[in-house]
Amino acid sequence: MRLLGIDYGRKRIGLALSDPAEKMVTPYGTIIVESTESLLEELSQIIREEEVELIILGDPVRDDGKRSELHDEIVGFANRLKEKTGLDVKLWDEYFTSRIAEEKLHSTGRKLKGNKGKIDSLAAAEILQGYIGSK
């Protein structure tokens, strides 16, 4: 089953896809958020084209176990995405995934400045890999 991982943000959404066997995860890219409606439409198109069957949406849990200030917004987005696509949307803890993505990018010798989209896509891959690894 092909999975779509999403690193949610108010300005950018990072995306990653699994292969159908759920063995490999690949960063897919970033969507700039102009409006929720256009975002949902673009995600729906990607989901159709890539034959996605399940969506894994990052939802950060803080060190103290509490949800982030974005939690309610993320849950609302998950509900709208489920309505739009008809697919299940699972929330997955994404705490530190952006930091891990930054470290991976830095370890390749790339500068972080100007690579925020790449970081978001790598963070989505971390979210998706974490979900797959937990199964």
Asked if 24 and 18 count as a contact pair (C-beta separation under 8 A), the reply is yes
pTM of the predicted model over 0.75? yes
pLDDT tens digits, 37-52: 999 999 999 999 999 9
Tell me the residue ranges of DSSP E strands in 33-106. 54-58, 89-92
User: Which domains are seen in the chain, by residue range?
Assistant: 3-134 (3.30.420.140)
- Joined tokens for residue 59: 């939802």
- Joined tokens for residue 34: 């102009």
> Percent of the chain beyond pLDDT 70?
79
CA distance 81 to 126: 21
Which residue, 96, 80, 1, is CA-closest to 37? 80
- Joined tokens for residue 97: 């995934």
How many CA within 13 A on the CB side of residue 113?
0
Give me the pLDDT at residue 103, please. Answer: 56
Average pLDDT of the segment spanning 127-131:
92
More confident residue, 36 or 112: 36
pLDDT at 107 > cutoff 70: no
